[in-house]
């Protein structure tokens, strides 16, 4: 299966503003690219790309005064199959975890492991260990948190999601990630593009969030918002929480004036565009 991916994002700034962007596919998907995954900026500015501490490809550049456009469109090859699953996957004891996974057990900006530890132990302490426990967490979050764009708040943490029971996709994942960490299952936040392939179409399209749980020596994809295996998920970046993988981070005032995301499984069809602001 070939998937056409793209975005068209516009910012308005009064003075020059430095920016970091995570807009490229993750290194685990670069071999699947059929066309170059290239960030284009108009008007043209110098772009420095680097690998961040989580292994993500990041870009840094300076937005000039006025309106700046960030865009890309490319093809990627996908298996066309749903997210892999293994209900028999087991937890790895903490003392045997690879050192690089240990940071995904700790509290972070949006994931207050220390504040939810007692609650999680009470909710899931007796649940089956391994895959079943992570799936039970996804089921609980999916059933107890109500989705709605009107519930979005950039400062909302996992504890606030638990108390309010309202949120957007990132809030679902932050809560599930925190629950997993409380039970000594390494969990990392993930962002990327997930189109409506194999499911009824919804609008508008957007970047999406999910999470990875480390079981049986590898990372497995879980999604507390969708709570079902999906087709065509394209990973862009991973980190401790949304702080580490923000699509754009500006070091100054930058007003978002247009935001479109596209994903389509057939490159010959007219691509449906996403939300404009």
Predicted confidence (pLDDT) per residue in 181-190, tens digit = 999 999 999 9
Place of tokens 């680097």: 50
- pTM: predicted TM-score of the whole model, two decimal places: 0.93
What are 92-101's contacts with CB under 8 Å, separation 24+?
92/214, 92/215, 92/216, 92/217, 94/184, 97/186, 97/214, 101/186, 101/214
**How far is the C-alpha of 62 from the C-alpha of 226, rounded, in Å?**
36
For residue 211, give both structure tokens: 């999470």
pLDDT in tens, 84-100: 999 999 999 999 999 99
Residue 222, pLDDT > 50, answer yes
Q: Which residues pair with 60 in a beta bridge?
A: 20, 48
Domains identified in the chain and CATH numbers: 2-80+246-264 (2.60.40.2250), 94-239 (3.10.620.30)
Report whether 185 contacts 219 (CB < 8 A).
no
Q: Which positions ≥6 away from 34 have C-beta within 8 Å?
A: 2, 74, 75, 76, 77
CA torsion, ordered 108, 112, 118, 122, to nearest 10 deg: -90
- So what's the pLDDT on residue 203? 65
Query: Kind of pairing, strands 146-147 and 166-167?
Result: parallel
* pLDDT reported for residue 14: 97
Determine if residue 198 is left, alpha or beta; phi over 0 gives left, psi from -120 to 50 gives alpha, anything else beta: left
State pLDDT tens for residues 54-84: 999 999 999 999 999 999 999 999 999 999 9
Give the integer Cα–Cα distance in Å for 60 and 95.
37
Q: Quote the tokens at residue 243.
A: 């702080």
Q: Are 224 and 190 in contact (CB under 8 A)?
A: no
pLDDT band at residue 133 under the 50/70/90 scheme: very high
pLDDT tens-digit readout, 9-60: 999 999 999 999 999 999 999 999 999 999 999 999 999 999 999 999 999 9
- Asked if residues 276 and 260 have their Cβ atoms less than 8 Å apart, the reply is yes
- Indicate the helix (H) or strand (E) that contains 193: strand 187-194
Backbone Cα Rg of the chain = 19
């Amino acid at each position: 299966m070939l998937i056409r991916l793209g975005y068209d994002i516009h910012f308005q700034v009064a003075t020059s503003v430095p920016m970091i962007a995570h807009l490229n596919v993750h290194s685990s998907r670069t071999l699947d690219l059929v066309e170059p995954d290239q960030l284009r900026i108009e008007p043209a500015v110098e772009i420095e790309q680097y690998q961040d501490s989580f292994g993500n490809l990041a870009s840094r550049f300076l937005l000039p005064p006025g309106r700046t456009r960030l865009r890309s469109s490319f093809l990627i090859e996908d298996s066309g199959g749903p997210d892999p699953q293994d209900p028999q996957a087991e937890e790895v004891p903490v003392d045997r975890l690879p050192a690089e996974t240990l940071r995904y057990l700790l509290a972070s900006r949006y994931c207050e492991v220390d504040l939810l530890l007692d609650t999680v132990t009470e909710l899931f302490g007796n649940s089956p260990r391994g895959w079943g426990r992570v799936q039970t967490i996804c089921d609980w979050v999916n059933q107890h948190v109500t989705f709605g764009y009107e519930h979005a708040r950039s400062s909302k943490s996992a504890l606030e999601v638990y108390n309010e029971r309202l949120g957007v996709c990132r809030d679902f994942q932050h809560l599930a990630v925190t629950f997993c960490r409380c039970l000594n299952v390494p969990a990392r936040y993930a962002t990327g593009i997930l189109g409506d392939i194999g499911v009824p179409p919804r609008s508008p399209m957007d970047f999406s969030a999910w999470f990875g749980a480390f079981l049986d020596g590898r990372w497995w994809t879980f999604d507390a918002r969708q709570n079902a295996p999906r087709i065509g998920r394209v990973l862009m970046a991973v980190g401790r929480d949304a702080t580490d993988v923000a699509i754009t981070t500006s070091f100054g005032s930058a007003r978002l004036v247009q935001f479109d995301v596209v994903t389509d499984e057939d490159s010959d069809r007219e691509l449906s565009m996403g939300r404009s602001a």
